[in-house]
C-alpha cells in the first residue's frame, strides 16, 4: 500500500500556461492565411438574387468586383436613388470600367490573365438597362468571363 503513496506537497501543482501563446498564434496564423481582407466599403445596397446553378469563384486574386445597386441611405442626398455602379470603393461611371479592369490586370501575373473573372454583384431590384451598359462595356474591353453573383437557393 504505502509503496504507491504519492508524496504530494501542500500546494497543488499548477498547469503550465507557457504554451498558450503558441496555440493562440497558431490559430492566428490559420485565420491570416485562410481569410481575405475586406477590400472596400460598399456604398450601395446590394442584395443579390437567389439561384441554383452556381459555380464557386476559386482564386480571389483573379476576380474583380463591379457593384450595381441603389446608393445607401446616407449617400442618397448626394447621389440620388437611381441605381449606380461602384468600382473599388467609389461611385463610378460606365466609361471608367476599362481603366478599372486595366488597374486590376497589371497586378495579376501574365500567364493567369486570361482567367480573370469579373464578378457582377447586382441588386435584384435593379433593371437591366444599366447592367446591359456594363456588359457592353465589358465586351468592348475584352473582359468576357463574367460571374453573376448569386446566393444559393434552398430547394
Partner 1 sequence: MGRSRSRMKNEINAGSMADIAFLLLIFFLVTTQIVEDKGIRVMLPPWSEEEPDITKLNKRNVFSVLVNAQNQLLVRGELADITQLRERAKEFISNPTKREDLSENPRKAIISLKNDRGTNYKTYLSVYNELKAAYNELWDEESQRMYGKPYSDQLPIALRKAVRDKFPLVLSEAEPTAFGEE
Residues that bind partner 1 (CB under 8 A): 17-18, 20-21, 24-25, 27-28, 31-32, 35-38, 48-49, 51-57, 60, 63, 117, 119-120, 122-132, 135-136, 138-140, 142-152
Compare residues 12 and 55 and give the one whose CB is closer to partner 1. 55
Q: How far is CA 120 from CA 18, 19, 38, 69, 132, in A?
A: 49, 46, 17, 11, 12
Compare residues 96 and 123 and give the one whose CB is closer to partner 1. 123
Smallest separation (angstroms) from partner 1 to the CB of 150: 5
Q: Can you name the residues that pair with 121 across neighbouring β-strands?
A: 67
Smallest separation (angstroms) from partner 1 to the CB of 132: 5
Q: Nearest Cα to 148, choosing from 42, 9, 52, 74?
A: 52
Smallest separation (angstroms) from partner 1 to the CB of 148: 5
Instruction: Determine the angle formed by the axes of helices 128-140 and 97-105, rounding to 10 degrees.
Output: 50
Q: Nearest Cα to 149, choosing from 126, 129, 120?
A: 120
Smallest separation (angstroms) from partner 1 to the CB of 112: 17
Compare residues 49 and 90 and give the one whose CB is closer to partner 1. 49
Q: Could you report how far apart the first and last alpha carbons of the chain are, in Å?
A: 67
Compare residues 11 and 37 and give the one whose CB is closer to partner 1. 37
Amino acid at each position: 500500500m504505502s509503496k504507491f503513496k504519492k508524496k504530494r506537497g501542500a500546494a497543488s501543482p499548477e498547469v503550465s500556461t507557457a504554451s498558450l501563446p503558441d496555440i493562440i498564434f497558431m490559430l492566428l496564423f490559420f485565420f491570416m492565411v485562410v481569410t481575405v481582407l475586406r477590400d472596400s466599403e460598399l456604398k450601395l445596397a446590394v442584395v443579390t438574387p437567389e439561384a441554383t446553378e452556381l459555380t464557386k469563384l476559386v482564386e480571389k486574386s483573379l476576380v474583380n468586383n463591379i457593384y450595381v445597386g441603389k446608393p445607401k441611405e446616407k449617400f442618397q442626398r448626394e447621389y440620388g436613388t437611381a441605381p449606380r455602379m461602384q468600382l473599388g470603393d467609389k461611385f463610378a461611371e460606365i466609361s471608367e470600367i476599362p481603366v478599372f479592369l486595366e488597374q486590376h490586370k497589371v497586378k495579376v501575373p501574365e500567364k493567369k490573365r486570361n482567367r480573370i473573372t469579373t464578378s457582377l454583384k447586382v441588386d435584384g431590384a435593379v433593371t437591366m438597362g444599366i447592367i446591359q451598359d456594363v456588359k457592353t462595356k465589358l465586351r468592348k474591353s475584352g473582359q468576357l468571363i463574367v460571374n453573376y453573383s448569386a446566393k444559393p437557393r434552398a430547394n
